[in-house]
Amino acid sequence: MATTVTNKTHKPLSIPLSRGKKLFPGPGKSGEIASNDAERPAIKALVESGTIEITQGGSRATGAGNDSKGQASQSFGSSRGPRRGGDLLV
């Protein structure tokens, strides 16, 4: 089960995780970490100082843009028309 970490500061953070990995949440942003990483001393110190907030289970509120399976629909199209490559001669 994943754990959600939320940055409560106004600056980006670098949170050390297991196996040499890091999480880089921006100001007010959140990310998911493994449950066992939440028990690391460095993360516990950030929680106690109020720098980050941890929520268990990774549960998020579902919005109106979600389909019936709870997955968010996403569009990758462009609203600026067709993309042109190469040089344009005028």
Residue at 11 is within a domain = yes
User: By residue range, what is the domain housing residue 7?
Assistant: 2-55
Domain count, the chain: 1
> pTM of whole model > 0.85?
no
* Residue 59: both structure tokens together: 């549960």
Calpha distance 72→65 (Å, rounded) = 6
Q: pLDDT at position 2, please? A: 81
pLDDT interval class at 24 (50, 70, 90)? very high
Calpha distance 86→89 (Å, rounded) = 10
Residue at 12 is within a domain = yes
